């Protein structure tokens, strides 16, 4: 699955990273099919900050990108924590 590296909180999203997210979502079939309408009230400041950081001007594209990021989010940390105590004590981890 896709691995995203976190930048500084105020760093803009690199276009290549955004492209990878959208291409991966497309390859997995997440961007195919019929469109649907979604509605909600979202704070203007949040939308403005997300647009600034992502470089996306369109509300629709911003929502699609944000939803793709959530759908593709890597859960490695959660899986790693769940494995705590499951590795045999006698395993040699030295290189």
pLDDT in tens, 3-60: 454 555 566 777 788 999 999 999 999 999 999 999 999 999 999 999 999 999 999 9
| Whole-number pLDDT of residue 77 | 82
> 87 pLDDT exceeds 60?
yes
* Half-sphere exposure (Cβ direction) of 21: Cα atoms closer than 13 Å: 23
Q: pLDDT value at position 9?
A: 58
Name the pTM for this structure.
0.67
């Amino acid at each position: 699955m896709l691995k995203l590296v976190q930048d500084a909180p105020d760093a803009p999203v690199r276009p290549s990273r955004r492209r990878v997210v959208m291409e991966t979502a497309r390859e997995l079939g997440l961007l195919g099919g019929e469109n649907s309408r979604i509605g909600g009230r979202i704070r203007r400041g949040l939308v403005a900050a997300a647009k600034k950081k992502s470089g996306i001007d369109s509300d629709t594209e911003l929502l699609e990108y944000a939803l793709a990021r959530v759908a593709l989010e890597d859960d490695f940390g959660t899986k790693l924590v769940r494995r705590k105590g499951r590795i045999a004590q006698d395993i040699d981890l030295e290189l």
